[in-house]
Structure 1
Amino acid sequence: MAVSARVLLTCLPYYSHLVPVLVPVAKALRKAGHAVAVASAPAMADELARHGVEHVPLPHVRTLEQLLADPAVLASPGMPGAEDEEAADTARAREEPGALTKAFAGPLAGIFARDLIAAAERWRPDVLVRECNEFGGYLAAVKLGLPRAVLDIAPFTAAHLPFLHDTLNAELAALGAAPADDPLRPNDGLLAGVVPAAWYPERRPSLRCYRTDDPGAPDDGFAPLAVAGLGTVAHTVVPEASRLLAAMALALGELPGPAVLSTGPGEWTGPRPSNVRIVPFAPQARLLGRASLFLSHGGFGGVQEALRAATPMVVLPLFADQPANARRIAELGLGLAVDPAEATPETLAAACSRVLAPGFGERAAEFARPAGDLPGFDVLAEDLAALS
């Protein structure tokens, strides 16, 4: 099949931002006969190779762990270390966007954009497609005059765009590109959602929603009553992650069935209830297809997997879009939120028991039903290629 478009995807160097959506989109583009690659940090090379997706490494882009481990980076202008440390830590754990959020739309986005512009000279994309948390792709596309689109892997982060407007315009000016008048300009063009439109409180004009593929059942046939974890980022930026994971383990131990708790990297020294499998990493999407409960921090990667699987949720929102996700889950009757400050084994066990009772599962199934009628990523691939 002849190649008809060259589509370059951009992604922050996090597993949860890359694998659930960008990798399947890249594979759909390739299957349709288009050239496709993912531009991100060199640290993502092994993960992309594992999925057989071409990687365009951006040499100066670092992972969050690398950034937070470098005092020189944290002390540079626009980074959270340049501010009061206690205030920066507090901002990370709150809903309001803080210094780190602004840094990823400011100096870090500028670094990403410059590397991407240099890479584009070699790779020659026709279209740039960014995941919504990554802003270097927006800056580079404006500078290069390329058509662009957004994979909306965290819908409520759009609420941060007015807060980031001046920061993004400063980076455009530094690149010699015209500033934007509209704070929502980064999300103009095709906005590709990955959940039914009912998730969005207000329908956005450029929004089109697509169906993500069913990941299939676990290989070993294991069917847990509950799946739990705090994702792949919280361990790095949330000091109380260990306490919350221990409370989650004990709460799961009170459930009348098997559970899986993903604890992240490092040795687990917390409680080990007999009915709970403790693992550093779990095939979450596949397990949710058989589970009756998802206990998490409310990151949208896991939320969209639970929505697809019709699995009701208990969430402990920690930062970024998670409080907004938690509110929407509650508004739609798809689960309950627990304040992390009040998350004890007892409060979590009580919330889990409530969500496992009749009502939440039925509403989750009703919400998931329209997803089957959405176009798949094969259609998204053609919609993205058509922008060229």
Structure 2
Amino acid sequence: MTPPELIPELRTASKLERVRLYFERAFVDAAPGTVRDLEAILTDFPADVLLADQLVIAASMVSERGGPPFARLATTRLGTYSRDTPPPGLGLAPGSRLRDRALTMLQRHVLFRRPARHLDDVRESLGLPRRGYAVFDEFMSPWLFLMDTAESFEFPRSDLPPQVHFIGALTPDPPSYDSRDSYEEPAWWPGLDDGRPVVLVALSTVANARSNLIGAAVDAFAGMDLTAVVATGGADFVAPAALPSNVHIEQFVPLAAIMPYVKVFVTNGGYGGVQMALKHGVPMVVAGVTEEKPDIAARVAWSGVGIRLSTDAPSADVLRRAVMEVLAGPGYGAAAGRIAEDLGRHDAPVEAVELLEELARTGRPVVRRG
């Protein structure tokens, strides 16, 4: 189900209100049940460290209730407050400090006053003290926070907590396309080497119900001197009967396998796909307006690795022009290449394990060195 199906109020809420509703309904209300489940697991398996997705706020509650230290693994952009950045959820890049501080104060003390109280009510019901924290503070860990990207893709923060470590991109290896894999290499795959630029269009794991971007891509790239591969991700899209010969539509295309061929990645801004593109130095066109995707799109534009569209339903003409600009402008590819180099300096799984082992061994915050 999509977020608006789970939380109907999202359909009519303002941008600011959507952030508040999403946090309150999706994360705070899930905490008590998650606490019970995690504590039951820890009874059978008394772990030294609890590793949690950054959005599982129950992890901190379990730790406070006598559980082990907890680490968080980022699965999206760094969504915590800083004096150097605008507040998360608004899709903004850093601007004037006056503007960013004013927006942060508005979010912390006005917009999120009710969910902060609700969070404290939940904490109290679990026998924990009320803290009055701003809600995004719950996404940090005082022990260890694993940020799976390059530091050059994140907004600079002079107040970055010392326990935040940039470990590079946690991305899967490509499939081998043999009988053991469920994905079969499509017939058009060998043509990716024919010298024409390859444009990949793919939707994210969650926001894949809207077919606007898919239809625009088919119309935008029909007959052009390029190969367009469109991965629908399960979106409800019916391909035209006469599909252009240079456009290929699949429900699923493994990003790790196709990305080495791609010259431009068109995405609605899912974090995993963006990190996969960055790992391969592929510039992007981002068209996403739901969840945290505006924040991710803001980083794509700020870092120079792509173009941000202010809609998830661009016209074919708008999409075509944006892709052609990225193909023609060497600056986008150069910027993506620089971040790929930064990511290449990391071995994300190894670094994550070493940091987690240090936390398990010492039980103390694992801070950056140097």
- TM tier, smaller: 0.7 to 0.9
CA contact (8 A) 2:279 2:344 kept: no
CA gap 1:141/1:261 in 2 versus in 1, 3 angstroms: farther
Q: TM-score, structure 1 length as denominator?
A: 0.71
The Cα shift of 1:336 comes to 0.4
Q: Distance in 1 between matches of 2:31 and 2:338?
A: 39
**Larger displacement relative to structure 2 (93-102 or 189-198):** 93-102
Does residue 152 of structure 2 align to residue 198 of structure 1?
Answer: yes
Match of 1:370 among 342, 348, 354: 342
Q: Distance in 2 between matches of 1:125 and 1:92?
A: 42
Match of 1:231 among 194, 198, 204: 204
Does residue 318 of structure 2 align to residue 333 of structure 1?
Answer: no
Match of 2:221 among 241, 249, 252: 252
Higher radius of gyration, 1 or 2: 2
CA contact (8 A) 1:225 1:257 kept: yes
Query: Partner residue of 1:312?
Result: 283
Q: Distance in 2 between matches of 1:385 and 1:310?
A: 31
Which residue identity lines up with residue 326 of structure 2 in the other structure? Answer: V
Q: Helix, strand or coil for the counterpart of 1:157?
A: coil
CA gap 1:178/1:293 in 2 versus in 1, 3 angstroms: same
Match of 1:124 among 37, 40, 46: 46
Q: Helix, strand or coil for the counterpart of 1:235?
A: coil
Q: Deviations over 1:85-119 (max 9, x none)?
A: 4x421349779504233212211232222222222
CA contact (8 A) 2:281 2:336 kept: yes
CA gap 1:209/1:227 in 2 versus in 1, 3 angstroms: same
Q: Distance in 2 between matches of 1:217 and 1:95?
A: 41
The Cα shift of 1:313 comes to 0.4
**Larger displacement relative to structure 2 (362-371 or 219-228):** 219-228
CA gap 1:260/1:118 in 2 versus in 1, 3 angstroms: same
The Cα shift of 1:350 comes to 0.7
RMSD of aligned alpha carbons: 2.8
What is the correspondence of 1:352-371 to structure 2 with a 5 Å cutoff? 352-357=323-328, 358-371=330-343
Q: Helix, strand or coil for the counterpart of 2:359?
A: coil
Q: Helix, strand or coil for the counterpart of 1:144?
A: coil
The Cα shift of 1:266 comes to 6.2
CA contact (8 A) 1:109 1:136 kept: yes
Match of 1:215 among 173, 186, 205: 173
CA gap 1:90/1:229 in 2 versus in 1, 3 angstroms: farther
Q: Helix, strand or coil for the counterpart of 1:273?
A: coil
Question: Identity over aligned residues, as a percent?
Answer: 25
Q: Distance in 1 between matches of 2:73 and 2:236?
A: 34
Match of 1:273 among 244, 256, 271: 244
Query: Partner residue of 1:175?
Result: 126
Q: Deviations over 1:23-59 (max 9, x none)?
A: xxxxxxxxxxxxxxxxxxxxxxxxxxxxxxxxxxxxx
Q: Distance in 2 between matches of 1:117 and 1:332?
A: 41
* Uncovered stretches (5+) of structure 1, i.e. residues with no partner: 1-63, 75-79
Aligned length, in residue pairs: 306
Does residue 33 of structure 2 align to residue 111 of structure 1?
Answer: yes
CA gap 1:94/1:317 in 2 versus in 1, 3 angstroms: farther
CA contact (8 A) 2:277 2:283 kept: yes
Which residue identity lines up with residue 221 of structure 2 in the other structure? Answer: L
The Cα shift of 1:342 comes to 5.9
Q: TM-score, structure 2 length as denominator?
A: 0.74
CA contact (8 A) 2:304 2:335 kept: yes
CA contact (8 A) 1:312 1:361 kept: yes
**Larger displacement relative to structure 2 (339-348 or 134-143):** 134-143
Does residue 23 of structure 2 align to residue 101 of structure 1?
Answer: yes
